[in-house]
Amino acid sequence: MAKSAMLPKINLVISNLLDANKGLKAVIKKELADHLSGKRFIILSSLIVVTCLAALYVAASTIRTSVGQNELDFVFLKLFTTSGSSLPFSFISFVSFLGPLVGLTMGFDAINGERDRGTLSRILSQPIYRDAFINGKFISGVIVLTIAIFGLGFLVAGLGLLFFGIPPSLSEVLRIITYLITSIIYISFWLSLSILFSLLFRQSSTSALAGIAVWLFLAIFAGLLAGMVADGIYPVTDSSDVDRILANSRLKQNLSRLSPSTLYDEATTTLLNPTIRTLGPVLLQQTFGAIKGPLSFGQSLLLIWPQLIGLIAATLICFAISYIIFMRQEIRA
């Protein structure tokens, strides 16, 4: 009797899950079509592609004129990190600077734009649950970012193969793929943050300005503020001892790591430069006896593992806050 009484409840749960899955697929398909055909995304993506290809051309020209065999080690990785005199920015610099704009552009009117157009209540009046709606918004954005970032990365790798005629090693391929995944996580943070602002502010223009303000603060002023705080707590003068200098440097670095931009820069620089063996200050006696040479892919991944976890955590926290706020908001016609 107990089993027969449980069957209707189990069937109801399964039916609800199937309905939610259908609603999630419908939202994802609709948002994918909007993103890929939207003028904002196309214009900003074209800008990133043009600037990154220009950085690739400068990097390839610089690498070709390098002298010595050591300059040609990890040549595929140098395509992403090398800059020139005509363009003092590398490929990863452009992605780090312009990538957040893509995430902010994709989500600043995700919710309040639907409210302004009067389509939010109509969509939710259909057999589409609230969680399916906001999950579909975020998942579709991540899918579009994955397509764009991997397409751009493979384009750079393919052009590098044409330029040099040297196939990349397995370690280089793994590092490039990990770098692309890290870039997707980093831009997804800005996507989740822009979705949060689209819930907190009624006007799309206000949410866009708030996202740009946070981006500028974290990318530019966070490091300056961290330095000011570190100098205030551990002031350094010409007569300061080593312990105070190290304390100042470590505090400044730890405060800077509260910014996702710093975490991303540290992770990508370590991934694409195998000669980096540490991310903190190193004393001369600590380098005594160290074997000179690049780190393996596994060791570099262990070195940046805290940065990756920090980026993932920041992205999930922003989206979780957006999810809770949206589930508790009142949707009126």
Tally of domains within the chain: 1
Specify the pLDDT at position 1: 46
**Closest C-alpha among 170, 13, 7 to residue 76:** 170
**What predicted TM-score, i.e. pTM, was given to this entire model?**
0.87
Give the span between the Cα atoms of 20 and 15, in whole angstroms.
9
**DSSP assignment string, 72-115:** GTTHHHHHHH---SSS---HHHHHHHHHHHHHHHHHTTSSHHHH
**Closest C-alpha among 154, 137, 145 to residue 188:** 145
Q: Is residue 8 part of a domain?
A: no
Give the span between the Cα atoms of 131 and 324, in whole angstroms.
9
Specify the pLDDT at position 2: 47
Q: 39 lies in which domain range? A: 24-279+291-328
The kind and range of the H/E element at 292 are: none
Calculate the alpha carbon distances from 317 to 114, 193, 324 in Å: 23, 9, 11
Q: Is residue 316 part of a domain?
A: yes
The kind and range of the H/E element at 241 are: none
Separation of first and last alpha carbons in the chain: 45
Q: Is residue 13 part of a domain?
A: no
Q: Is residue 169 part of a domain?
A: yes
Give the span between the Cα atoms of 134 and 156, in whole angstroms.
33
Question: Mean pLDDT, 10 residues at a time, over the chain (333 residues)?
Answer: 50 47 80 83 80 77 62 74 72 85 87 80 76 89 90 83 79 90 94 92 89 90 87 80 81 87 90 81 57 80 91 94 88 59
Give the span between the Cα atoms of 202 and 15, in whole angstroms.
35
Specify the pLDDT at position 17: 44
Specify the pLDDT at position 14: 47
- Residue appearing with tokens 């690739």: 56
Specify the pLDDT at position 66: 63
Pair of tokens at residue 183: 């870039």
Q: Is residue 179 part of a domain?
A: yes
Structural contact between residues 319 and 138, judged by C-beta atoms closer than 8 angstroms: yes
- Residue appearing with tokens 């890290």: 182
Q: Is residue 15 part of a domain?
A: no
Q: Is residue 223 part of a domain?
A: yes
Q: Is residue 202 part of a domain?
A: yes
* Residue type, position 80, single letter: F
**Closest C-alpha among 130, 104, 314 to residue 207:** 104
For 50, other C-beta atoms within 10 Å of its C-beta total 11
**Closest C-alpha among 45, 35, 50, 214 to residue 141:** 35
Structural contact between residues 194 and 104, judged by C-beta atoms closer than 8 angstroms: yes
